Structure 1
Amino acid sequence: MENIDNIYEVLKEEDGPDIKKIIYLLLRQWHWFLLFGALGFGGAYSYTRLTKPTYSVSGSILIPEKSNEMDLKDLFSGALQGGQDNTKINNQIEILKSSFTINHTLLNLNWRTSWYKKDLFIWNGIYKQEPFDVQETQSFINPSGIKIYITPTSQNSYLVSGVGELNVQGKIYIVKFNSKGEFGHPFRNEYFNFTILKKINISDIPDGKYYFVFNDQREMTLAYQIRLDATLKDEKSDIVLCTIKGEEPEKESDFLNELIKVYIRQKMEVQNEAQRRSLDFINTQLAGISDSLDRAGTKSTEFRSRNDIIDLGAEGTLVMNTLKEVESEKAQTQMQLDYFRNVLDYLEKNGDLTKLVSPSVVGIEDASLNALVVNLGELFSRRQVLSFTARANNPTLILLDKELAQARTRLNENIRNLIDNANRSINSLKDRQDKIILQLNKLPQKEQQMINIQRQFDLTNEIYTFMLQKRAETNIALASSISDVQIIESASPDTALSVGLTRKTILPIGFILGLSLPAGFILLVNFFDTRIRTQEDIENNTQLPIIGNIMHSFDANELTVFGNPKSNIAESFRDLRTNLEFMLSGTQAKVISIHSTNPSEGKTFNTTNLATILAMNDNKVLIIGADMRKPKLHRIFKVENEHGLSTCLIGADTFEQVIFPTQIENLYLLPSGPVPPNPAEILSKPAMKNLIEMARNQFDYVLIDNSPVALVTDGIIASRVSDLNIFILRYGVSHKHQLEMINQYAETKKVTNIGIIVNDIKVNSFGYTYYKYYQYEAYQKDYYAYGEDGVEKRRKKKVKKA
């Protein structure tokens, strides 16, 4: 049996928080929950009305990686090592997000002004719904960021006002003005110069209030760069998801779509830059060759006419053809050598590498050289774009610089080798040319001249034809060039997503937050509250029995049981009387001391009403006023206090002389008497014990009203002659630490046979024991509503009134 009890105690100690108790504590303050719940809901509703919703707009594009052709640069870049390298696509994302690209996008959109309209309490953007257009004077720059309010007053006029701060060379000026303006006429003051025009489709006067601001291109670029987010949709894909958040979905959609167009256009320009440079080079060369060809043709015709030469001989033709082939090959090699030296000069001077001409333009079909030149130009172009926004320590910029350095080194080595080869080829061709010229010198003089003129013409014509062919090829390449970037999904306001919580979510959250404030406060106060609030507060801090719970009295009269015997508080004293009969059943006479640790806990109130309920049960009851320091009983029963306990204990009066009847039948009072200078010493006299013995013989119950034990020792002295000592604890007033004092009295046997009464319990307050009193009160009202004949009194009253 002891083991079962021990297990129960352990389980009881390990129990978590009492949910019923928490619910009960919260429901007691239901009015605060109602108030704060309404405030939370109202605050949430106001928030939804006063806060502009934010939307997220997205668009996606495909930026594919280049084909993995096996060329020289792959050997240096480690392309054969395997694995996907997202460096290039990450570079493209940086270009897409760069201020250079965003600035060009905003320039194309021409968002010089932004318009807003007042809707109840907030100003909403009205993109593409502006009722007015703003024209600026080219010679005047209007300051940006200052709100200019427009209120139409008629078909032709409006009120205009402005307020804000203007920063001029570090000095702050306050801008504030109120004026009138006319539609279609310039508005001028010391700060602004603009003209407001009504749109063609606006016939009536636009109602409401408006304001607009002049946008600063640099600030707008920075703002969009911060809000723009571009990331890979998936680590293994080449699809880039562009997202931007804003208050106007249509405006943000237009920005994203234009941004993608600008990016594609820029990428096309970079891709076609080599062809454009080649075309410019070819056109320049053709202009010079064309003149040379005309002169050579004219010279050949004139020579033939003047010398009547129709054709060359067989030997002359052979010499001329051989010499022409050698000179053509030499001219082609010299052109290539000039190209190599030009490229080397650019590399050594760190010139603009985007101006390098493709080797294929001059007939160089070296695949590795072509790849190196194109790669170097692309890297330099990307670096130029990225340098507009990136700082020197930007990781992408550092990586590009490393790639540029490696590409320069590889191209430099390749060019030097090609220059050496070209020089050797030219020297070899010179030797062949010299041998052929010796053969030419053996021919007749006129034939020699004709051969020289004809070969000059043929050489020039051959170069001219070659350049025409290259120009045609370049034009075809430019015409057939398409962007490798594909738009997967355009941004649209219809697909915009609301950012953050929706209105349907905010309203219940506001309501719940409103409820949580009083709940948190109540639980926090309860956690730090040391006062007695529930029956568990007593049961958890003492093993002493609770012999009664006294309900709160709404009657100002101290003798509430006598004045209202059918009240619920009278029933609580009846319940106490029953418990006392069980606790004192073994004694002939019953002496009960009523104590409290501190004043104002209801000690005297409980003494008088307990004595009253005992007397109403045909018991002869005596109340002894042992509180000789602050007597109160004589005033309650309206008895003189000149004679009492103090005079009896010092022998001035006899026991019979200090016993006074009260207005309550069977209830007598022994008042405290005049306040003595030494109450504790008087109570310690043997006369006190003799007085109690006489009271036992003459009364059924003797109740002693004592002084607070925490202040004086009078009550402890009186407890020695008592059969039962009752300590009064008042709900909401007494503290839990007072139980420690009472426990100490019991443990040290300083006070024996102790019981506890909890006083002043309000309905729906003291733990779960209140429920029976609440039930009793309801039952009592119904019970006493009937008379002795069983007919409902209230119904009788209603019938009489009818």
Structure 2
Amino acid sequence: MTRESMKDSKVADEETGHNEPLGGSEGNTFEAIGWALRAILKHWALILAAVLLFSGVSLAYSKSLPKIYEASTLIEFDPDVIKPLGNKTDPMVGWSALWDTKEYYETQYRIIQSDRVLSTVVRNLGLQNDPDFLGYKPTAPVPMESAVESLRGRLTVEPAKGSRLVYLKIQDTKPAQARRLSEAVAKAYIDHNLEKMVSATGDTVVWLSGQLDHFKRELEQTEDSLHEFKKQNDLPSTNIDDLSKMIRMEMQEYDGALTRTRLRRQELSARHTELSKVTTEHPDQIPASELLSNAFLGQLRKQYQEANQERAELIAGGKGENHPDVKRANEKIALSKQTLVNEIRTIQGAVARDLAIIQRQEAGEAALYEDSRKKAVELNLKELEFHRLDRLRAQNEKLYAVLLEQLKEADLRRMMNTNNIRLIDTPVEPKSPIAPRVSTNVGIGLLTGLILGIALALLREALDNTLKTPDDLEKRLDVTFLGLLPEIAEEDLDGKPAKGRRKKARRIKTELAPELLVHERPASGVAEAARSLRTNLMFMNPDKPYRRILVTSAAPAEGKTTVAVSVAVSLAQGGQRVCIIDCDLRRPRLHRIFDRAGDIGLMNVILGEATVEEVAKPTIVPNLYCIPCGPIPPNSADVVASEKFKHLLDEVGEHFDRIVLDSPPVVAVTDSAILSTLVDGVLLVVRAFKTTFGLSRSGLRTLRDVDAPIAGAVLNAVNLDRHEYGYQRYYYYRHEGYAPLPQGGDRPSDEAAAPPN
């Protein structure tokens, strides 16, 4: 990918997202915050209007609502009902699981708002005929359902967080009515709960009496069954668990003895197997374990081996079988062999006897273990049945005791008329209304208006695709920023400050055209800006200065002629011979600025009717000459592309240090693209807050397509009082007489700086 295509891709991405901070691809967080703050400052009037609108609507709406008063009664739900016997268990078995659960409290809240409780309030207070409650005087009693629904709509049940307290709140337009209704609802609910508890307690007494007789019979039956089971199975009167423990210990002893016997039998069996491998032909191949445990056997084996070795030495010494020494050695070998074999047979017989004995012992111990195991299995079956019967007896005994105690307590409670709902605080007549909350509503409206206003401001700023600041030129267009020219305000023209914070550019009659303000008022901010632009141009390429400078713009009415004249004047003020040529052959303007209307100009030279010396005439600005357009041609593009035009530029260059060409917009016509190939540097003029990014991008693309030497861009018609230009480096452009000495030239004399008469 080429550098140009990368730039175009980058610019296209930015154009799609309008403003860079909202795109989020290249702007960091601080840039986005700065962009948002600038948008808020720019559209502060819109935000203020939204805030005032929503605040006013909220205030008007709040004032139109009737005043609502609220009275509340505080009651307590006490799960621990007073129990005469001191038992912590609720005697009402059907309700016991509900006291400490969320479901119970939710049920009570619904009961408070139920038709039964509220209809009691309506009847007691006569609300069906009460005009204060209904809000009008009824001709006949309203239906009970309507009165109940109206009362329910005013009632709020609000539990106190982290406690068993509940507020019964009633809202009404009359404070006395709110207090009376709240108190009546609390009383009706407490009475209803007491009536329910008394009725439920009576039912509980009847139910508990029947259950007590039933469990008494069940307890007697389980006790008889347990006694009969112990008698039939000859179980001791002691605990059956002790008997089971004794049998298990006996099994453990038998199992341990049997394990040890089996290990001994395995050892003897292995020893017997190893000894059986020893033969009479090779009696010296005795297992090592036998040699270690029997020293005598090892001595016999050693004698046998020594006799064999002695015979072998005699044979090796050359003595034959009939030699007396050899015969004595053979006799010694036979004697030691026989002795060794006899000892081995003795050991084998002893091991065989021990193995038989241990096998019989193992069989006996296995039989004892098996007998004990069978006894344990039989006892385990009896134990399971015994525990089942004993557990059933214990359960019936416990249930009987609980029912007996609860029956006594329920009977006492029925006589005491206890209630677990208590009144804590009676309602008082409210002094101030709770609604409408004017300050809260206005605050919400203010906040809503502020948020909506900021959102609209950010949206407008995001949709605003115009170029505004030097950063927009450098970052979004990827072009060098050369300088800016402030907006020509009234104070620049007549020397008096404009009224108001924001200064508008307004044309008034002066001795010279506004484009010549750099010459007319050399100490103004506009002149200082023009000199700064001149300095940047001079130092951009000091080895190869821009002698031919083309000034163009992307679209009409962006101030390119003003910029061209200002640049030419500032260059001339620096002591250089400068010629400004009006190359806008379609809509020329230089002849009006320099008062040469109807005079010969560029086209006369092209047509051979005049020479360069005749058309390049001095202006009121020292060192500045002007060549106007002359007659407007029908084919301006062909004119600037002709060889005669090129010769004209060469000829003008021989007489002047700098040439400034004022050209038509680059996007509208092709003249500027052709002219850009004939100059050393191109200045693209961008009008602040008017020229769009897409249009400027198109103009730059046109110039880059012809390899134009783009020097940079100039931001024109900048209102320095806007917050976007609150930079310290532009501060001196706002105040006449405080500008620093321009680089590349001396400050104008006092006479030159004086305002025109």
Query: Quick check: TM above 0.5?
Result: yes
Q: CA 1:587/1:478 → structure 2, altered by over 3 Å: closer, same or farther?
A: closer
Q: Which of 590, 593, 599 is the aligned partner of 2:550?
A: 593
CA distance in 1, matches of 2:164, 2:440: 36
Q: CA 1:568/1:508 → structure 2, altered by over 3 Å: closer, same or farther?
A: farther
Give 2:73's aligned residue: 59
Q: Which runs of 5+ in 1 are unaligned?
A: 1-9, 116-126, 128-143, 149-191, 195-213, 276-356, 373-409, 411-475, 794-802
CA distance in 2, matches of 1:581, 1:770: 24
Greater fraction of residues in helix: 2
Once the two structures are superposed, the pairs formed by residues 21-40 of structure 1 within 5 Å of their partners are 21-33=35-47, 36-39=50-53
* Contact map agreement 1:650 1:682 (CA 8 A) in 2: no
CA-CA distance at 1:672 after TM superposition: 1.6
1:251 partner SS:
helix
**Does 1:538 find its partner at 2:466?**
no
Q: Which of 695, 700, 703 is the aligned partner of 2:652?
A: 695
Q: Which of 564, 567, 570 is the aligned partner of 2:524?
A: 567
Q: CA 1:14/1:371 → structure 2, altered by over 3 Å: closer, same or farther?
A: farther
CA-CA distance at 1:735 after TM superposition: 1.1
Q: CA 1:267/1:83 → structure 2, altered by over 3 Å: closer, same or farther?
A: closer
2:157 partner SS:
strand
Give 1:257's aligned residue: 183
CA distance in 2, matches of 1:239, 1:518: 45
CA distance in 1, matches of 2:39, 2:717: 18
Greater fraction of residues in strand: 1
**Does 1:492 find its partner at 2:508?**
no
* Contact map agreement 1:114 1:215 (CA 8 A) in 2: no
Residue 489 of structure 1 aligns with an amino acid whose one-letter code is: D
Once the two structures are superposed, the pairs formed by residues 187-586 of structure 1 within 5 Å of their partners are 218-230=145-157, 233=160, 239-270=165-196, 367-369=208-210, 481=417, 483-493=419-429, 498=434, 503-554=438-489, 555=493, 556=507, 557-583=514-540, 585-586=542-543
Once the two structures are superposed, the pairs formed by residues 39-118 of structure 1 within 5 Å of their partners are 39=53, 41-52=55-66, 54=68, 57-65=71-79, 74=93, 84=100, 90-111=106-127, 112-114=129-131
- Residues 470-499 of structure 1: per-residue CA shift (max 9 Å, x gap): xxxxxx999964544311233334599947
CA distance in 2, matches of 1:228, 1:710: 74
CA-CA distance at 1:684 after TM superposition: 1.1
* Contact map agreement 1:358 1:370 (CA 8 A) in 2: no
Residue 191 of structure 2 aligns with an amino acid whose one-letter code is: R
Give 2:691's aligned residue: 734
2:737 partner SS:
helix
Residue 150 of structure 2 aligns with an amino acid whose one-letter code is: A
Q: CA 1:547/1:358 → structure 2, altered by over 3 Å: closer, same or farther?
A: closer
Q: Which runs of 5+ in 2 are unaligned?
A: 1-23, 215-411, 494-506, 508-513, 742-748
Q: CA 1:240/1:640 → structure 2, altered by over 3 Å: closer, same or farther?
A: closer
Give 2:34's aligned residue: 20
Residue 574 of structure 1 aligns with an amino acid whose one-letter code is: R
Q: CA 1:649/1:84 → structure 2, altered by over 3 Å: closer, same or farther?
A: same
- Residues 692-745 of structure 1: per-residue CA shift (max 9 Å, x gap): 111111112211011111111111111122111100001011111234335535
Once the two structures are superposed, the pairs formed by residues 131-210 of structure 1 within 5 Å of their partners are none
Give 1:302's aligned residue: none
1:687 partner SS:
helix
1:242 partner SS:
strand
* Contact map agreement 1:72 1:368 (CA 8 A) in 2: no
Highest RCO, 1 vs 2 (Cα 8 Å, sep ≥ 6)? 2
- Residues 316-341 of structure 1: per-residue CA shift (max 9 Å, x gap): xxxxxxxxxxxxxxxxxxxxxxxxxx
Once the two structures are superposed, the pairs formed by residues 654-665 of structure 1 within 5 Å of their partners are 654-665=611-622
CA-CA distance at 1:572 after TM superposition: 1.0
Residue 651 of structure 1 aligns with an amino acid whose one-letter code is: G
CA-CA distance at 1:251 after TM superposition: 2.8
CA distance in 1, matches of 2:50, 2:692: 30
Q: CA 1:107/1:673 → structure 2, altered by over 3 Å: closer, same or farther?
A: same
Q: CA 1:641/1:85 → structure 2, altered by over 3 Å: closer, same or farther?
A: same
CA distance in 2, matches of 1:266, 1:71: 19
Q: Which moved more, 1:558-567 or 1:265-274?
A: 265-274
Q: CA 1:668/1:215 → structure 2, altered by over 3 Å: closer, same or farther?
A: farther
Give 2:730's aligned residue: 773
Give 1:651's aligned residue: 608
Residue 531 of structure 1 aligns with an amino acid whose one-letter code is: T
CA distance in 2, matches of 1:366, 1:585: 114
* Contact map agreement 1:541 1:739 (CA 8 A) in 2: no
Q: CA 1:506/1:145 → structure 2, altered by over 3 Å: closer, same or farther?
A: closer
Residue 222 of structure 1 aligns with an amino acid whose one-letter code is: E
CA-CA distance at 1:524 after TM superposition: 0.9
Q: Which of 591, 598, 601 is the aligned partner of 1:634?
A: 591
Residue 490 of structure 1 aligns with an amino acid whose one-letter code is: T
Residue 209 of structure 2 aligns with an amino acid whose one-letter code is: S
* Contact map agreement 1:145 1:216 (CA 8 A) in 2: no
Give 1:756's aligned residue: 713
* Contact map agreement 1:534 1:766 (CA 8 A) in 2: no
Residue 664 of structure 1 aligns with an amino acid whose one-letter code is: V
Residue 472 of structure 2 aligns with an amino acid whose one-letter code is: D
CA distance in 2, matches of 1:105, 1:689: 107
CA distance in 2, matches of 1:680, 1:705: 14
The structure with the larger Rg is 2
Q: CA 1:262/1:580 → structure 2, altered by over 3 Å: closer, same or farther?
A: same
CA distance in 2, matches of 1:71, 1:12: 71
* Aligned-residue CA RMSD (Å): 4.4
CA distance in 2, matches of 1:624, 1:359: 116
Residue 454 of structure 2 aligns with an amino acid whose one-letter code is: A
CA distance in 1, matches of 2:176, 2:119: 19
Q: CA 1:529/1:258 → structure 2, altered by over 3 Å: closer, same or farther?
A: same
CA distance in 2, matches of 1:359, 1:610: 108
Give 1:311's aligned residue: none
Residue 229 of structure 1 aligns with an amino acid whose one-letter code is: T
CA distance in 2, matches of 1:757, 1:543: 13
* Contact map agreement 2:74 2:166 (CA 8 A) in 1: yes
Q: TM-score, normalised by structure 1?
A: 0.54
Q: CA 1:71/1:108 → structure 2, altered by over 3 Å: closer, same or farther?
A: closer
CA distance in 2, matches of 1:783, 1:544: 27
CA distance in 2, matches of 1:771, 1:534: 14
Q: TM-score, normalised by structure 2?
A: 0.57
Q: CA 1:566/1:371 → structure 2, altered by over 3 Å: closer, same or farther?
A: farther
* Contact map agreement 1:716 1:750 (CA 8 A) in 2: no
Q: Which moved more, 1:553-562 or 1:692-701?
A: 553-562
